[in-house]
Amino acid sequence: MASWLLQILVISSLHLISLSSQQETRFVYENFRDQDNLYLDDSAKDLGPLRLTGGATYETGRAFYKKPIQFSSSGPLSFSTHFVCALVPRTGIEGGHGLTFLLSSSMDFPNARETRYLGAFNESTSGFPVLAVELDTIRNQEFGDIDNNHVGIDVNSPISVGIASASYYSDLKGKNESINLLSGKPIQVWVDYEGTVFNVSISPLQVQKPSRPLLSHPINLSEIFPNISQLFVGFSAATGNAVSAHYILWWSFSTNRESLPRLDISRLLDISELLEVLILQLHIRVYRRGLLSWLCVWVLWCWLFLQEFISTGGRSIQKCLKHGRRSLMHIGSLTSPCTKQQRVSARMSS
């Protein structure tokens, strides 16, 4: 009887394992704090929002979903992803350089560079395959950038194969509306792939997914990634002399495009509040640095004063004060319209 039960248990658990191994990849992150299956690299931190760079110069940050993507075995290769990000420039300096959504055969980017390489590329195009969707806020003419506010599709190189100024098609107005990527406000991004079509759309948080994509480009994922069973998805961001903090607030992904978890904006409230605190801290840090240098100057001055006081037993300070009083009197006598004698006689006659 007991062995019977055991047999059933073993068979059913084996069945479960085989089911889960066939499962396609589908996930949603509404908060990034202490989450399973996240691989964080360089400056990336899970502060509630996922912070890729924190507002320092020459930073890179990356984060990946730790498990390789499992595509459906039936039908053409496909996936959809939707995320909400915020690019926040630091007070008083130019914002940059941008963030990317990454597809890569490796999670380790030891040689990826900051600045215009966005933490995803370097000067060399050899190495493992990388596909990036960039939200780029600096214009690099040597990479063929059209402006300092664009979206691009990059294959193994920061020179985009598809590029467009950041905008969305407004169904309401029937025209394109531009978006300022560096507004610091949450921006929605969609990446949809099926067969050989790779689409990218963006929109402000309050606006639904546009009916027309911003970019639609022919891409064959199996050509770019010969071993499609080893494909990771994630994000990268970088700064240089231009500095922004780069955040991801929400992220969903599915290899079955119909079952992509939907964004419920009301669930974004908590994370948006956390973001506001982080942005405030970012700005305070700048002011605090200013205050700190003032404080340093004052401390140094007091220390020098004290040194002088101790070394001369206070005499030089007295001399200084006396000298100060004398020079004040000197100024007084210069500005006074009459001499001491005139003043005394004036007082006597009154």
Ligand X SMILES: *[C@@H]1O[C@H](CO)[C@@H](O)[C@H](O)[C@H]1NC(C)=O
Binding site for ligand X (CB under 6 A): 68, 109, 111-112, 121-122, 124, 126-128, 130, 164, 169, 175-176, 192-197, 199, 212-214, 216, 220, 222-223, 227, 229-230
Residue 156 CB, nearest approach to ligand X (Å): 9
**Closer residue to ligand X (CB): 57 or 165:** 165
Residue 211 CB, nearest approach to ligand X (Å): 8
**Closer residue to ligand X (CB): 150 or 246:** 150
**Would you call 68 helix, strand, or coil by DSSP?**
coil
**Would you call 42 helix, strand, or coil by DSSP?**
strand
Name 14's Cβ contacts closer than 8 Å, sequence gap at least 6: none
- By Cβ distance, which residue is nearest to ligand X? 127
Cα(248)–Cα(278) distance, integer angstroms: 13
Any idea what DSSP says for residue 347? H
**Closer residue to ligand X (CB): 72 or 281:** 72
CB atoms closer than 10 angstroms to residue 338:
10
**Closer residue to ligand X (CB): 25 or 272:** 25
CB atoms closer than 10 angstroms to residue 216:
16
Peptide bond before 97: cis, by omega within 30 degrees of 0? yes
Write out the H or E segment, with its range, that includes residue 103.
Answer: strand 98-104
**Closer residue to ligand X (CB): 33 or 217:** 217
Residue 106 Cα distances to 45, 129, 279, 297, 306, angstroms: 20, 8, 31, 49, 60
Q: With beta carbons less than 8 A apart as the criterion, state whether 53 and 59 touch.
A: yes
Nearest to 118 by CA among 104, 103, 132: 132
Q: With beta carbons less than 8 A apart as the criterion, state whether 242 and 94 touch.
A: yes
Residue 226 CB, nearest approach to ligand X (Å): 8
Residue 233 CB, nearest approach to ligand X (Å): 14
**Closer residue to ligand X (CB): 21 or 124:** 124
How open is the CA angle 179-145-53, to the nearest 5 degrees? 65
SS percent in the chain: helix, strand, coil, step 5 = 35, 30, 35
Residue 189 CB, nearest approach to ligand X (Å): 13
**Closer residue to ligand X (CB): 32 or 143:** 143
**Closer residue to ligand X (CB): 43 or 199:** 199
Residue 127 CB, nearest approach to ligand X (Å): 2
**Closer residue to ligand X (CB): 188 or 272:** 188
Cα(158)–Cα(138) distance, integer angstroms: 12
Enter the tokens of residue 230. Answer: 């080893």
Residue 269 CB, nearest approach to ligand X (Å): 29
Residue 162 CB, nearest approach to ligand X (Å): 10
Beta strands in 166-231 (DSSP E): 167-170, 175-178, 187-194, 197-204, 215-218
Residue 169 CB, nearest approach to ligand X (Å): 6
